[in-house]
A and B are shown apart, each in its own frame.
Chain A
Amino acid sequence: MNHHEAVLHVRGEARFVDDEPTPAGTLHAAVVTSPTAHGRLLGIDAGEAERLPGVRAILTCRDVPGKNQVGTIIPDEPLLAEAAVHYLGQPVALVVADSDAQARRAARAVHVPVEPLPPEFDARAANARGELIFPQRTFARGDVDSAWAACAVVVAGRAETGAQEHVYLETQGAVAIPGEGGTLRLLSATQAPTAVQRVVAGVLGVPMHRVEVEVRRLGGGFGGKEDQATPWAGLAALGAWCTGRPVKLVLRRQEDMRWTGKRHPYSSDFRIGLDRDGRILAYEVFFYQNAGATADLSPAILERTLFHATNAYFIPHVRATAASCRTNLPSNTAFRGFGGPQAMFVLEAAIARAAAEMGLEPAEIQRRNLLREGEEFPYGMRMASSALTRCWTEAETRYDLPAIRRRAAEFNDAHRLEKQGVAVMPVCFGISFTNTVLNQAGALVHVHTDGSVSVSTGAVEMGQGTAPKLRQVAAATLGIDPERVRIDSTSTSRVASTSPTAASTGPDMNGHATRLAGEAILARLREVAARRLAVADAATIGIRAGQVHVLGRPAGFSWAELVGAAYAERVSLSAHAHYATPRIHFDKATGRGEPFAYHACGVAIVEATVDVLRGECRIDAVRVVHDAGHSIDPLVDRGQVEGGLLQGIGWMTMEEVLHLPSGGVATDTLTTYKVPDLYAAPDEVEVHFLEPGGEPAGIMGAKAVGEPPLMYGIGAFFAVHAAIRAARPGTDTHFVAPLSAERILAALSEPS
């Protein structure tokens, strides 16, 4: 249970970046951004702003002592704009002042003349003009072009999913504190402390060892702080470097919503072919990813889109192509699922259209094509277990899918103004960073002389419950009560060269590193115990429940005594360990390999009601069977399923990012961008964890659970879609998400 963290939360004692007491003399920064989506920067007029009270410095790209660059995959993103601006909201200058009100007032007084150039906001149009972030990529298997001839049914169409704003409750922010000897300490709300350290060192032109980045916890991340926490940390660092004073930069909500990237909108064309029995023979898809102005994480996100183009299904002939299109919007970025949800939506749209054409329930097609154990993904990896098919069967029987359908049909017969729809959503999500090099982690474990233990890793706690899981791992490894273990903040000085806490891999990789460090200490402690207890074979010694055991029997020697003895013998009570996920590899040239440690799966049954008169929808119930392996912390995992699910439902039905003609974000407040509230959660949410079957998994037999549940939300779209079809049989709604009240009413009003 997330007990330690939760106690701090409910008492209001948990500190986030903006809550940390800052040193006396801390200055505050505000960002001047481009007023235009695309253009040549004609200068920066800060004359008026400089004279305002409290202003200490106004910094531009010319003040950057090192490299003016924050792009991590492709170096295409200046910290502060140089000759051109590429989106409305792009940082152009930094104002540092005594208070944040003074800094913001001065930032508004900085004039940024721009000679406008024609902006592009549409992904397909950008593609047509050759504006790609990098060359398009294709994953293929079999022979799609020949396969169509063998299909009894071929349908094609377009599917669109919108952007999604993260709405982490804690906005982006950082505090930079200059130290002696040209060092800098940063408190940053980032999922990627090492990336911040690397970029800040580059910006300042100093070695990485002079920059320490520390993260206690995040008020939500969801991917939005994987790459996009970095610019704000970089700006705070620049401000501190140039003024020699601590500088705090925390975005206001509206700034954050205007200036930071979202989940990538995708527009996709699909074609799917099936035989008479509903078996999918061929699937072709082209994804247009709206990357925004810079690369950010788009290349990696696009790759995961391709990996998950066939989601949970076996399809013999596949060709999936994706183009990352450069537009004049804030660069879109990671968001829970990382391109996977966008891909899965398209295939579900294709299945829905095929089912309508064939007069079948979509679930019939889904079930017939579900990946079975041993079947191959298009990228060459095999499905290592039957977990997916077991999830399907379990969901069907446990929740009595036929009865659910019967109830909906009866309801629809009895009601004219309301209609219900049911959809099933299977998810199969690969666990590992698709970029193999990122699949490494480190941990530093200290056993203190009183027997208490502290653990540092590269993992950042952002609500996903990595900290309580790591505590369990450390306690289980050392054979002590978890209460003896404290999970420390994440610091680049304690554990270096870490990967972002992302891709659902946090507990797995950092858990293994913690286990390895714990085992190293345990091995030394066994030797100490063997000497103290005069036992010949240290391997017969174990620690359980804080007591030393020999051959499984308590030896009357406690953990605390053992630790004291080890210290007295001058035996090291600390260990650092490194973990690299074994086996995984992927050849980008051939598009084949074993990129994932394993797959996490599950199946959700979603029930929705549509108000046929008003066009409103309600997601009534979601019933999930999820494969979490041997869950280390079922309460945490349940929370991940429930929370991811509602984010997915929000993305599919309610949340919509709209832009002004200028390219500015129109939905830049929580008044205009609506996320689900307490009443929007389905009345019934059931989560059942699949009985583990011994398949490959992560730390302690548990499976990663951070991202996959979001994709159950896709079922909400198709449940509403089914309800619309119940109201207007024969309607083939457009596959455009979110399926907002406006779109529902349009579908209900279409001539059938």
Chain B
Amino acid sequence: MGAPTTRFLLNRDEVRVDLPAGTVLLDVLRRERGLTGTKEGCREGDCGACMVLLGEPLDGVIRYRAVNSCLLPLGDAAGRHVVTIEGLRTSALSPAQRAFVEDGATQCGFCTPGFIVSLAGFLLSAPHLTVDAARDALAGNICRCTGYVSIRRALHRICAALPDRGSPGAPDRLHGLIAGGWIPEHFAEAAARLRTMGGTAVAAPAVTGPLVAGGTDLFVQRAAELLDAAPTFLSRRRELQGIRLEQAVCLIGAATTWSDLEDSPLLRGLLPGIEGHLRLAASRPIRHRATVAGNLVNASPIGDLSILLLALGTFVRLSGRGGARELPLRALFTGYKQLALQDGELVTEVGFDAPPEGAVFSFEKVSRRRHLDIASVNSAMLAVARAGRIESMSLSAGGVAPVPLHLSRASAFLAGAPLDAATLRAAMAVAQEEIAPISDVRGSAGYKRSLLGRLLTAHFLRLAPELEAGLLP
């Protein structure tokens, strides 16, 4: 079977690649194009050695984002600009490269190209060019040699040297970066070149093969299968993206990426601190790709976003051959990795009521490594308490059951109950009865039970700090 031709702009060159659309870009770069500056470290998006920039034409400019090429299917590069470390080279070192050299931020050097590419992504796309944002941009890059101390020194030097560059995507940011030698000049022509490539800007194709949204879990779990399939790429479906508020209901397109969530002033207003929770869950390059519905249909019992959305009372909108329908999110999960989706059915949108005035939203997670790790147990709470009474309560927990669990019984127990330590402790006992954790690499069943108790305590302390003495174990 002849593979389709994929055309895209690779660094300075327009290229055509005749390989299955499900081939991960990492293999295309290294094996087909000989671009070996992009390294293979883990093939699961955990190390960042394979980082590239993916530039997507958007309203006449290109939005560049650092992504893990080991999880990026070739088909998703079609009509876009892919920049590798080779495409960041100029005759002189960029100020960022110079800082890495001068601060001793490289040792064995294997991870270094990935760091430099992530940094370029930060320069091009971070809303604010702060040290904090730079750390977040690089947190998905693992370095086993330096202990990161020299890398932090380099980051401080880089951020200190960065003048105000305007908002991401704006021509003045791009031209400022080029003028300062931070990125090569070919970036300036990329938008026009993509336009003249024409035709390759893929129209929404008919749904044929497997659906790929961000692919950040699919390509970890099923890369070999997807190679021979002809995936449909949902990142092309604009109508599946976006966040809006309609009659006090927050609606989020299924293919909205996590970075769109965290950058959304609307969502940050509704759920203060949401960006911190998302940052904890995945690296910025993964968040650039991972989607809302992807995290749900993955059906992991520990999915951070599933847990967050469950507590919010989220519903999902589905569309399939039989038309459209709506389900409460908690009804979507029917068993371990089992969903109430019918064949060919697609999640199109999720929605939840905007939390009422005075509501307390809390998210808790403990994992082996604090950042960018899968939780041992995670949990969320949305609660309203007034005048010593709990008006409403919604609790969820992950890692304690075969499905992401809405703690319905504990929630019901507390709704309308008095807000006191004894009641809250009794609810924790109820929660223990509705969970069934198992022992695995993320902890023993006993640990997960005990941890859920601690995380519920943390929620309740947020709701009623004055009850500390009565709540602490």
Which residues of A come within 8 Å of B, CB atoms? 1-3, 5-16, 18-19, 21, 166-170, 217-222, 252-253, 416-417, 462-465, 613-616, 618, 635-636, 638-639, 642-647, 654, 656, 658, 666-667, 669-672, 674-681, 685, 740-742, 745-746, 749
CB pair B116 A669 closer than 8 Å: no
Taken together as a complex, chains A and B put the C-alpha atoms of A465 and B109 apart, in Å, by: 11
Question: Chain B 42-82 against A: per-residue CB contact (8 Å), 1 yes, 0 no?
Answer: 11101101000000000000000000000000000000000
From B112, B220, B371, B454, A745 is in contact (CB under 8 Å) with B454
Taken together as a complex, chains A and B put the C-alpha atoms of A741 and B370 apart, in Å, by: 10
Using A168-B108, A643-B147 as known contacts, list a sample of 5 further A-B pairs with CB atoms less than 8 Å apart, ordered by residue number in A: A14-B110, A670-B47, A671-B374, A678-B371, A749-B473
**Residues of B contacting A614 in the complex (Cβ-Cβ under 8 angstroms):** 364, 366, 451, 454-455, 458
Taken together as a complex, chains A and B put the C-alpha atoms of A643 and B143 apart, in Å, by: 9
Taken together as a complex, chains A and B put the C-alpha atoms of A672 and B220 apart, in Å, by: 13
- Judged by DSSP, the binding face of A is loop
Taken together as a complex, chains A and B put the C-alpha atoms of A169 and B111 apart, in Å, by: 7
CB pair B109 A463 closer than 8 Å: yes
Taken together as a complex, chains A and B put the C-alpha atoms of A167 and B110 apart, in Å, by: 12
**Residues of A contacting B110 in the complex (Cβ-Cβ under 8 angstroms):** 14, 16, 168-170, 219-220
CB pair A7 B148 closer than 8 Å: no
**Residues of A contacting B147 in the complex (Cβ-Cβ under 8 angstroms):** 639, 642-647, 676, 681, 685
CB pair B447 A680 closer than 8 Å: no
| Docked complex: B359-388 residues within 8 A CB-CB of A | 364, 366-374, 376
Question: How distant is B321 from chain A, measured CB to nearest CB, in Å?
Answer: 35
CB pair B473 A681 closer than 8 Å: no
Residue of A168, A463, A667 with most chain B CB atoms under a 10 A cut-off: A463
Listed from nearest, the 3 A-B pairs whose CB atoms lie closest are: A12-B37, A463-B108, A219-B110
Taken together as a complex, chains A and B put the C-alpha atoms of A217 and B161 apart, in Å, by: 32
Question: How distant is B110 from chain A, measured CB to nearest CB, in Å?
Answer: 3
Please tell me if B325 contacts chain A, counting CB pairs below 8 Å.
Answer: no
Stretch with Cβ within 8 A of A (4 or more), from B85-93, B236-244, B251-259, B416-424: B85-93
CB pair B107 A639 closer than 8 Å: yes
CB pair A654 B369 closer than 8 Å: yes
Query: Known: A416-B472, A613-B472. Contact between A681 and B458, CB under 8 A?
Result: no
| Docked complex: B365-416 residues within 8 A CB-CB of A | 366-374, 376
Please tell me if B338 contacts chain A, counting CB pairs below 8 Å.
Answer: no
**Residues of A contacting B46 in the complex (Cβ-Cβ under 8 angstroms):** 669-671
Residue of B109, B116, B373, B447 with most chain A CB atoms under a 10 A cut-off: B109
Taken together as a complex, chains A and B put the C-alpha atoms of A385 and B366 apart, in Å, by: 46
Please tell me if B304 contacts chain A, counting CB pairs below 8 Å.
Answer: no
From A218, A416, A463, A677, B369 is in contact (CB under 8 Å) with A677
Query: Known: A10-B116, A169-B49, A670-B46. Contact between A643 and B107, CB under 8 A?
Result: yes
Q: Residue of A at shortest CB range from B115?
A: A10
CB pair A169 B47 closer than 8 Å: yes
Question: How distant is A529 from chain B, measured CB to nearest CB, in Å?
Answer: 36
CB pair B151 A678 closer than 8 Å: yes
Please tell me if B425 contacts chain A, counting CB pairs below 8 Å.
Answer: no
Taken together as a complex, chains A and B put the C-alpha atoms of A167 and B107 apart, in Å, by: 14
Residue of B113, B454, B458, B473 with most chain A CB atoms under a 10 A cut-off: B454
**What are 30 sample pairs from A and B whose C-beta atoms fall under 8 A apart?**
A1-B101, A5-B106, A6-B100, A7-B101, A9-B113, A10-B97, A10-B100, A12-B37, A12-B84, A16-B39, A167-B144, A168-B110, A168-B144, A169-B47, A220-B144, A465-B107, A613-B457, A615-B366, A615-B451, A642-B146, A654-B369, A669-B44, A671-B46, A672-B374, A674-B369, A677-B148, A681-B149, A741-B367, A741-B376, A745-B450
Query: Known: A11-B85, A647-B144. Contact between A745 and B451, CB under 8 A?
Result: yes
Question: How distant is A615 from chain B, measured CB to nearest CB, in Å?
Answer: 7
Please tell me if B6 contacts chain A, counting CB pairs below 8 Å.
Answer: no
Question: Chain B 18-33 against A: per-residue CB contact (8 Å), 1 yes, 0 no?
Answer: 0000000000001000
Taken together as a complex, chains A and B put the C-alpha atoms of A5 and B108 apart, in Å, by: 9
Question: How distant is A247 from chain B, measured CB to nearest CB, in Å?
Answer: 16
**Residues of A contacting B43 in the complex (Cβ-Cβ under 8 angstroms):** 252-253
Taken together as a complex, chains A and B put the C-alpha atoms of A543 and B281 apart, in Å, by: 59
Please tell me if B427 contacts chain A, counting CB pairs below 8 Å.
Answer: no
CB pair B109 A9 closer than 8 Å: yes
Residue of A169, A417, A644 with most chain B CB atoms under a 10 A cut-off: A169
CB pair A464 B135 closer than 8 Å: no
**Residues of A contacting B101 in the complex (Cβ-Cβ under 8 angstroms):** 1, 3, 6-7, 10
CB pair A462 B108 closer than 8 Å: yes
Query: Known: A170-B108, A463-B107. Contact between A675 and B144, CB under 8 A?
Result: yes
**Residues of A contacting B145 in the complex (Cβ-Cβ under 8 angstroms):** 220, 463, 639, 643
CB pair B42 A219 closer than 8 Å: no
**Residues of B contacting A615 in the complex (Cβ-Cβ under 8 angstroms):** 366, 451, 454
**Residues of B contacting A1 in the complex (Cβ-Cβ under 8 angstroms):** 101-102, 104
From B139, B455, B473, A678 is in contact (CB under 8 Å) with B139
Taken together as a complex, chains A and B put the C-alpha atoms of A3 and B100 apart, in Å, by: 10
CB pair A749 B450 closer than 8 Å: yes
Which residues of B come within 8 Å of A, CB atoms? 30, 34, 36-44, 46-47, 49, 84-86, 88-89, 93, 97, 100-102, 104-113, 116, 135, 138-139, 141-152, 220, 364, 366-374, 376, 441, 443-444, 447, 450-451, 454-455, 457-458, 461, 468, 472-473
CB pair A217 B42 closer than 8 Å: no
**Residues of B contacting A417 in the complex (Cβ-Cβ under 8 angstroms):** 472
Q: Residue of B at shortest CB range from A636?
A: B104
Residue of B34, B104, B454, B468 with most chain A CB atoms under a 10 A cut-off: B104
Residue of B34, B40, B457 with most chain A CB atoms under a 10 A cut-off: B40
**Residues of B contacting A643 in the complex (Cβ-Cβ under 8 angstroms):** 107, 144-147
CB pair A741 B366 closer than 8 Å: yes
Taken together as a complex, chains A and B put the C-alpha atoms of A167 and B108 apart, in Å, by: 13
CB pair B36 A19 closer than 8 Å: yes
Taken together as a complex, chains A and B put the C-alpha atoms of A218 and B107 apart, in Å, by: 10
CB pair A654 B368 closer than 8 Å: yes
Question: How distant is A589 from chain B, measured CB to nearest CB, in Å?
Answer: 40
From A16, A170, A462, A667, B441 is in contact (CB under 8 Å) with A667
Query: Known: A7-B93, A18-B40, A675-B142. Contact between A2 and B107, CB under 8 A?
Result: yes
Taken together as a complex, chains A and B put the C-alpha atoms of A678 and B105 apart, in Å, by: 12
Question: How distant is B246 from chain A, measured CB to nearest CB, in Å?
Answer: 37
From A463, A613, A618, A746, B447 is in contact (CB under 8 Å) with A746
Q: Residue of B at shortest CB range from A13?
A: B37
Question: How distant is A747 from chain B, measured CB to nearest CB, in Å?
Answer: 12
**Residues of A contacting B116 in the complex (Cβ-Cβ under 8 angstroms):** 10, 12
CB pair B97 A169 closer than 8 Å: no
Question: How distant is A648 from chain B, measured CB to nearest CB, in Å?
Answer: 10
Taken together as a complex, chains A and B put the C-alpha atoms of A7 and B116 apart, in Å, by: 12
Taken together as a complex, chains A and B put the C-alpha atoms of A557 and B1 apart, in Å, by: 71
Q: Residue of B at shortest CB range from A637?
A: B104
From A6, A645, A674, A679, B139 is in contact (CB under 8 Å) with A679
**Residues of A contacting B44 in the complex (Cβ-Cβ under 8 angstroms):** 253, 669-671
**Residues of A contacting B458 in the complex (Cβ-Cβ under 8 angstroms):** 613-614
Taken together as a complex, chains A and B put the C-alpha atoms of A14 and B108 apart, in Å, by: 9
**Residues of A contacting B370 in the complex (Cβ-Cβ under 8 angstroms):** 616, 618, 679-680
CB pair B150 A642 closer than 8 Å: yes
**Residues of A contacting B451 in the complex (Cβ-Cβ under 8 angstroms):** 614-615, 745
Taken together as a complex, chains A and B put the C-alpha atoms of A676 and B151 apart, in Å, by: 14
Question: How distant is A468 from chain B, measured CB to nearest CB, in Å?
Answer: 10
Taken together as a complex, chains A and B put the C-alpha atoms of A674 and B444 apart, in Å, by: 17
**Residues of A contacting B109 in the complex (Cβ-Cβ under 8 angstroms):** 5-6, 8-9, 14, 217, 219, 463
Q: Residue of A at shortest CB range from B451?
A: A745
CB pair A169 B106 closer than 8 Å: no
CB pair B149 A685 closer than 8 Å: yes
Q: Residue of B at shortest CB range from A666?
A: B441
CB pair B89 A12 closer than 8 Å: yes
CB pair B368 A222 closer than 8 Å: no
Query: Known: A416-B472, A745-B451. Contact between A677 and B371, CB under 8 A?
Result: yes
Taken together as a complex, chains A and B put the C-alpha atoms of A671 and B367 apart, in Å, by: 11
From A7, A8, A639, B146 is in contact (CB under 8 Å) with A639
